[in-house]
Chain A
């Protein structure tokens, strides 16, 4: 009988979920839209060098060396160069239109040529930079260094062959799968998928509170069912709905943004299922600790946003300071996102899913245990 009741509870909750078409569309469309946005932003950030760092050069030196430096910089594909006056160059940085402006003073080339060989009276190359782009400043500084030295040597020894680095570099992603690489879409869909999965869990918890408020819980309690069966039914339907939310998002990411599950598909599904179980028990916890639906929703959304922020859903945890990276292991979403990252762009095999799954199941047990303990069973 308990199985029939469980099936009835799950079917009813799925019917209620799908009966609100606007909510269903929002449940699936919102994470896809936001994840696509974040994926696009972080993809662009990763490909910033290829797109060309925007810089301005104000060359006040008409010497051969300076002309050669400017020509080399302009030929560099990693930089998007505009020639201008010193005032315009300063203004462009101030307004954030370019990342760096290079001011080459009069006589710079000749002075640099002399200083290169005698090490004295080094001329000053003025770099104006946008403080919000310090990483690009370092890149531009390194490139300028190379182009200036090359131009000075070429001017001193015109017959010498072009200077090249005395070594070559082999670069490859340090991933289990050598063809894998960081995929901003994979990460953003993991993050946003989990955020909206938790929002679905909030709806589950609020739904229970509304059922209580509307007297429906009385019908459930008057049936010959155990407390475990009642909460278990809610947990199963919550898990199915939240899992569906996550899987629909990821299917979109796979089809549209070519996100690959480079690790293990069973591992991915295992982490996703454990995440959904954790989320649905989080929903039960909300129902157990909440009093009124309105007040509970506000607190739950705040708690969820904290969890997804600290879990690295918005910004990958590798951007976090090291102390925060260590501290956030107590946040379940961190394990969910790391687990999905491991199965997608990191390309780690099934073994990489075991620990995140175990930790997520542990969080699910903790949330579920507190929910059963704190749930108000008595109906007045």
Chain B
């Protein structure tokens, strides 16, 4: 469904992404892990078309994704790390706008809005101003906005930052449902337990390079635990990326 080949991006002398490659199949959730500044968000931005790569390519369904107006962009849904919502508007008006950007209108748009609001549990708050929502509700609406146009690939950039356990669990359930419907999910996070719970495959990047690409079991097996410790993704991650603090 999604193939990323040798993506590269530099900002002056700084190499943000250096030859990242990964692939994502339908019904799969790929966990993209890395310390701060590793290049996760830049990678996601290049896949979403927000940043032009200096090299490499993004393929969707076997076709290269190039250009602002490429129809293949419809196959991708972005759930950015920021709560990218208009606080002054209600969820319905927010979603009507985001749907309009994808050419959706009329009854089809109304039905899609109803469906995604039901999915994220906000149907009963469809007409309330977003500014009155809790952080968790906003996160769920942020997810709904990315799903509205029914993309095949969903890019989720730290979608559970700052939410309460209930909303977090609701988001997990949504994502598991989407997986079961055949959606391909690329999921960046700092929470290892989220990846352990949901990911079919894990890619670890550091300093802009892929340093591991494996199934969860494969990753856990690749780094034996210390005596007396249970194998954990966090231990593997720290072994791979080191314990020095990052900016």
- What is A's interface to B at a CB cutoff of 8 Å? 1, 4-5, 7-9, 11-12, 15-16, 19-20, 214-216, 218-227, 378-380
B240 CB → nearest A CB, Å: 25
A-chain residues with CB within 8 Å of residue B71 when the two chains form the complex: 224
Choose among B68, B82, B98 the residue that contacts A215 (Cβ–Cβ < 8 A). Answer: B82
CB nearest neighbor in A for B48: A222
B104 CB → nearest A CB, Å: 7
In the complex, are the beta carbons of A5 and B101 less than 8 A apart? yes
In the complex, are the beta carbons of A4 and B100 less than 8 A apart? yes
B-chain residues with CB within 8 Å of residue A225 when the two chains form the complex: 68-69, 101
CB nearest neighbor in B for A7: B100
A-chain residues with CB within 8 Å of residue B50 when the two chains form the complex: 218, 221-222, 378-380
- What is B's interface to A at a CB cutoff of 8 Å? 41-42, 45, 48-52, 68-74, 76, 78, 80-86, 88-89, 93, 96-105, 145
A320 CB → nearest B CB, Å: 42
Given the complex of chains A and B, what is the CA–CA distance between A225 and B100 in angstroms?
Answer: 11
Given the complex of chains A and B, what is the CA–CA distance between A216 and B78 in angstroms?
Answer: 11
Given the complex of chains A and B, what is the CA–CA distance between A4 and B105 in angstroms?
Answer: 7
In the complex, are the beta carbons of A380 and B41 less than 8 A apart? yes
CB nearest neighbor in B for A229: B69
A208 CB → nearest B CB, Å: 13
Instruction: Known contacts A218-B80, A224-B74; decide if A9 and B97 are in contact (CB<8 Å).
Output: yes
The A interface, classified by DSSP as helix, strand, loop or mixed, is helix
In the complex, are the beta carbons of B45 and A223 less than 8 A apart? no
In the complex, are the beta carbons of A16 and B88 less than 8 A apart? yes
In the complex, are the beta carbons of A218 and B82 less than 8 A apart? yes
Instruction: Known contacts A222-B49, A380-B41; decide if A214 and B84 are in contact (CB<8 Å).
Output: yes
Given the complex of chains A and B, what is the CA–CA distance between A1 and B98 in angstroms?
Answer: 13
A226 CB → nearest B CB, Å: 5
Given the complex of chains A and B, what is the CA–CA distance between A19 and B87 in angstroms?
Answer: 11
In the complex, are the beta carbons of B82 and A15 less than 8 A apart? no
Given the complex of chains A and B, what is the CA–CA distance between A8 and B100 in angstroms?
Answer: 5
B-chain residues with CB within 8 Å of residue A7 when the two chains form the complex: 100, 105
B-chain residues with CB within 8 Å of residue A227 when the two chains form the complex: 68
Instruction: Known contacts A214-B84, A215-B82; decide if A226 and B69 are in contact (CB<8 Å).
Output: yes
A221 CB → nearest B CB, Å: 5
CB nearest neighbor in A for B93: A15
In the complex, are the beta carbons of B83 and A215 less than 8 A apart? yes
B15 CB → nearest A CB, Å: 14
CB nearest neighbor in A for B89: A15
CB nearest neighbor in B for A17: B88
In the complex, are the beta carbons of A222 and B78 less than 8 A apart? yes
In the complex, are the beta carbons of A222 and B83 less than 8 A apart? no
B52 CB → nearest A CB, Å: 7
A12 CB → nearest B CB, Å: 4
Most chain A CB neighbours (cut-off 10 Å) among B82, B84, B101, B103: B101
In the complex, are the beta carbons of B81 and A215 less than 8 A apart? yes
B-chain residues with CB within 8 Å of residue A15 when the two chains form the complex: 88-89, 93
Given the complex of chains A and B, what is the CA–CA distance between A15 and B130 in angstroms?
Answer: 14
A-chain residues with CB within 8 Å of residue B70 when the two chains form the complex: 224
Can you list 22 A-B pairs, Cβ within 8 angstroms, ordered by A?
A: A4-B100, A5-B100, A5-B102, A8-B100, A9-B97, A9-B101, A12-B89, A12-B93, A12-B96, A214-B82, A215-B81, A216-B84, A218-B45, A219-B78, A219-B84, A222-B73, A223-B73, A225-B69, A378-B50, A378-B51, A378-B52, A379-B45
A-chain residues with CB within 8 Å of residue B82 when the two chains form the complex: 214-216, 218
A-chain residues with CB within 8 Å of residue B99 when the two chains form the complex: 8
B-chain residues with CB within 8 Å of residue A19 when the two chains form the complex: 88-89
B-chain residues with CB within 8 Å of residue A223 when the two chains form the complex: 73, 98, 101-102
Given the complex of chains A and B, what is the CA–CA distance between A4 and B83 in angstroms?
Answer: 24
CB nearest neighbor in B for A19: B88
Given the complex of chains A and B, what is the CA–CA distance between A4 and B74 in angstroms?
Answer: 15
Given the complex of chains A and B, what is the CA–CA distance between A221 and B44 in angstroms?
Answer: 13
A-chain residues with CB within 8 Å of residue B88 when the two chains form the complex: 15-16, 19-20
Given the complex of chains A and B, what is the CA–CA distance between A379 and B50 in angstroms?
Answer: 5
Given the complex of chains A and B, what is the CA–CA distance between A365 and B227 in angstroms?
Answer: 71
The 6 nearest A-B residue pairs measured at CB: A8-B100, A215-B82, A1-B103, A379-B50, A223-B101, A224-B73
Given the complex of chains A and B, what is the CA–CA distance between A10 and B204 in angstroms?
Answer: 42
A-chain residues with CB within 8 Å of residue B105 when the two chains form the complex: 4, 7-8
Instruction: Known contacts A220-B101, A224-B71, A224-B73; decide if A12 and B86 are in contact (CB<8 Å).
Output: yes
CB nearest neighbor in B for A213: B82
Given the complex of chains A and B, what is the CA–CA distance between A218 and B89 in angstroms?
Answer: 18
In the complex, are the beta carbons of A379 and B84 less than 8 A apart? no
B44 CB → nearest A CB, Å: 10
A-chain residues with CB within 8 Å of residue B89 when the two chains form the complex: 12, 15-16, 19
A-chain residues with CB within 8 Å of residue B86 when the two chains form the complex: 12, 16, 216
A317 CB → nearest B CB, Å: 40
CB nearest neighbor in A for B41: A380
In the complex, are the beta carbons of A4 and B103 less than 8 A apart? yes
A-chain residues with CB within 8 Å of residue B48 when the two chains form the complex: 218, 221-222
Other than A214-B82, A216-B84, A222-B76, give 9 A-B pairs with Cβ distance below 8 A.
A4-B105, A5-B102, A12-B89, A218-B82, A219-B80, A221-B50, A224-B68, A224-B74, A379-B51
Given the complex of chains A and B, what is the CA–CA distance between A9 and B98 in angstroms?
Answer: 9
Given the complex of chains A and B, what is the CA–CA distance between A220 and B78 in angstroms?
Answer: 10
Given the complex of chains A and B, what is the CA–CA distance between A163 and B182 in angstroms?
Answer: 106
